[in-house]
Amino acid sequence: MLSNFPIPHPDETLYSLVARYGDWLRYPSHKRLFREVFGAETGTATIEFPSRLAAFMSRLPVGHPCAGPSLLVEHTLLPWYSPFMPDDRVGRLRSAMLGDGGGAAPGLVGLQASRVRVPAFLRFCPECFREDHRDGHELYWRRLHQVTGIEACPRHAVWLADSPVPRLDRVTRHSFEVPADGLRDVEPVRVGRTGESLLRVARLGERLLLPEWPSLPLEVLHRNLHCLLAGAGYSFPRGRTIRARRLVEAVCEHYPHDFLRKLGGTSWIHRLIHSPRGVQSPIRWLAMLGFLGVELEALFDPGQREMIQAKEGPGCRNPVCPASGRATCFWRSEFSSDLDAEVDLFRCEACGRVVGRCPKSREGEWVRDYGALWRKRLAALWGDPGQSLRGLSRALRVDPLTAKRQALKVGLAFPRRGKRETTTRGLADMLRSRLDRVPSLRKRWLGARTKHPDLGTKALRQKHPALYASLYRLDREWLVANQPPRVPRAPGLSRVDWVKRDQRLSNDVIGTAEQLRKVPFRPRRVTATAVIRAAGAISWLPKLDKLPKTRKALRKLEEGRLRFARRRVEHLVAESVAEGRQLRAWQVQRKAGLRLELVDSPELRGVVDGALARLAVAAERN
Ligand SMILES: [Zn+2]
Ligand SMILES: [Zn+2]
């Protein structure tokens, strides 16, 4: 069980999370770390396409932010590739990553065929690292910075730098490395005017990773690209023929030579415009958009109706809908892990009913959400004792059991009064999970709200992730109705009494750090993040600039690598003395997880020597 797996930062790669976990626990061997995290010995520590993610997720504690579908979306490069791949391939890529098919991934995204090379080293933005440090957490590897063709940090407009950690030609393929602290001292280099074109590509890249792009057929993307090229004057008047040579020349002039070399030359430009079904590396699409000076929206525009005809929805079959019978619109697609396939969702604008469609499912089409209008009608009929269950179901065009299920779901009263009483017969499975657990879940949630009256939904959810997840699944409507109120903030008026909060929190962190240092078993490094998390105040971390006392206290409490190493040695000595064990120098190094560069520092050498002496004295006494 990975009970202390770190909480991810925005855009952090899974590689980085595993590295931080291994670093924190001082794993003696990469292989053991790999086995504990992924449940297997074979595999590679990869940025691009980690696999065995299902096994990994099952090892996390319930409610950990990495234990759900957001892992793939927020901490792997899946969203980088998926908008440019056919749906069925996205499904296969997902399964490969969840299972042990990591090796198949590069082929699926077309990387093997393309000449886009992976950067040789893990890369970073010095400004981002400085910010990490200033915000009091560990440095971490970001996803975007590791992508070929992303040369600058879009947030700071500085060039990315190579770290000493190699991605290619590694000695051991299991090793996960954290960024060395010293990397934040690397001097950032601003992107000048000549680098504007690359900065634009990086900005497009940053937006591409947001989970908001539709999955459109490649033909649609292709057609949109042709429209954009025509608009920029790269097709002959009234023709669909592209002036390819002029285009290539202009692209070469727009970007530095080195950038195009990393993208594998210029021959991809022909393939991009001429083969509508070919899978192309996303960075090439971005390079083309950057060249044309347009945003991602222009490419991902579903466009005229003809383009999405392939996804024309079924007619709305809601009998109480004013637009009943009219075709519904394609809304979005989502991945269903039950079906292991993409599901298209169609939504009726008039009544909110959502229908799912997937050729892989038994039904083909099914109602995903009956919609607010339908539910309102259900509630009205339910409360009318003159209505029989059968009549009510007929009016709503569902079978009686479905009507009952929906009634239970929205919390209508059981048994229902009528000529014949409607009981919960047939709903045993739903009831068991609901009625058993829901009341206590509700009570706990309300308790948490009372205990933390000043926390918003997000913070409360972070405090009680498992509770929130259960309520979300079993009792969503109630949860939404019982979230902390959103208080609109008057401009210039702060809701929080910062001075008071600062006073309290600074006291809290001092006490908490004390406790952290006393934790038995493995010593744990006292970092600002660890302290503030243990104090139950992780949500205040981004607000530290408003909490000067707390910030100062944290800075004082924070343990450097050396101080932490010394504490580990002391802990080891105490433990060994208690157990009457004798250790040699190398065993101290190994068991306390001292890195070579640390052992060589004179200060620590003194500590280790002292420890050995104390152990020898203790051994004599025995
Ligand atoms: Zn940056
Ligand atoms: Zn409708």
What confidence tens digit (pLDDT) does each residue in 501-524 have? 888 888 888 888 887 777 655 677
Q: Give the pLDDT confidence score for residue 488 in this predicted structure.
A: 54
Question: What's the mean pLDDT in 25-36?
Answer: 83
For the chain, how many helices (H) and strands (E)?
29, 8
pLDDT tens digits, one per residue of 282-291: 999 999 999 9
| pLDDT of 112 above 80 | no
The ligand minimizing its distance to the Cα of 369 is 2
For residues 202 and 157, give the distance between their C-alpha atoms in angstroms, rounded to a whole number.
Answer: 9
The ligand minimizing its distance to the Cα of 157 is 1
Q: Give the pLDDT confidence score for residue 290 in this predicted structure.
A: 95
Q: Give the pLDDT confidence score for residue 520 in this predicted structure.
A: 59
Mean pLDDT rounded to a whole number for the chain: 84
The ligand minimizing its distance to the Cα of 155 is 1
Question: pLDDT above 70 covers what percent of the chain?
Answer: 92
Residue 562: other Cβ atoms inside 10 A:
13
- Centroid of ligand 2 to alpha carbon of 327 (angstroms): 9
| pLDDT of 306 above 50 | no
What would the 3-class secondary structure string for 140-184 be?
A: CCECHHHCCCCCEECCCCEECEEEEEECCCCCCCCCCCCCCHHHH
Q: Which of 301-315, 389-403, 528-542 has the highest mean pLDDT?
A: 389-403
- Centroid of ligand 2 to alpha carbon of 362 (angstroms): 24
**221 close to 300: Cβ distance less than 8 angstroms:** yes
pLDDT tens digits, one per residue of 257-273: 999 999 988 889 988 98
Q: What are phi and psi of 342, to 5 degrees?
A: -75, 140
Dihedral sign for Cα atoms in the order 405, 409, 412, 415: positive
Residue 110: other Cβ atoms inside 10 A:
18
CA 606 to chain centre: 44
Kindly state the helix (H) or strand (E) to which residue 354 belongs, with its residue range: strand 354-357
The ligand minimizing its distance to the Cα of 320 is 2
Question: What's the mean pLDDT in 477-499?
Answer: 70
Of residues 102 and 354, more confidence is placed in: 354
Question: pLDDT above 90 covers what percent of the chain?
Answer: 27
- Mean pLDDT check: name the lowest of 84-93, 331-340, 544-553: 331-340
- Centroid of ligand 2 to alpha carbon of 215 (angstroms): 24
Angstrom distances, CA of residue 505 to CA of 380, 449, 495, 496, 539: 50, 19, 17, 13, 12
**340 close to 95: Cβ distance less than 8 angstroms:** yes
For residues 230 and 318, give the distance between their C-alpha atoms in angstroms, rounded to a whole number.
Answer: 43
Decide: helix, strand or coil at residue 509: helix
Of residues 18 and 171, more confidence is placed in: 18
Residues in the chain: 622
- Centroid of ligand 2 to alpha carbon of 351 (angstroms): 4
Angstrom distances, CA of residue 616 to CA of 570, 585, 608: 14, 12, 12
- Reading phi first (left if > 0) and then psi (alpha if -120 to 50, else beta), residue 238 is in left
Q: Give the pLDDT confidence score for residue 460 in this predicted structure.
A: 87
Global pTM reads 0.52
Q: Give the pLDDT confidence score for residue 309 in this predicted structure.
A: 43
For residues 170 and 54, give the distance between their C-alpha atoms in angstroms, rounded to a whole number.
Answer: 26
- Centroid of ligand 2 to alpha carbon of 323 (angstroms): 5
Question: What's the mean pLDDT in 29-51?
Answer: 83
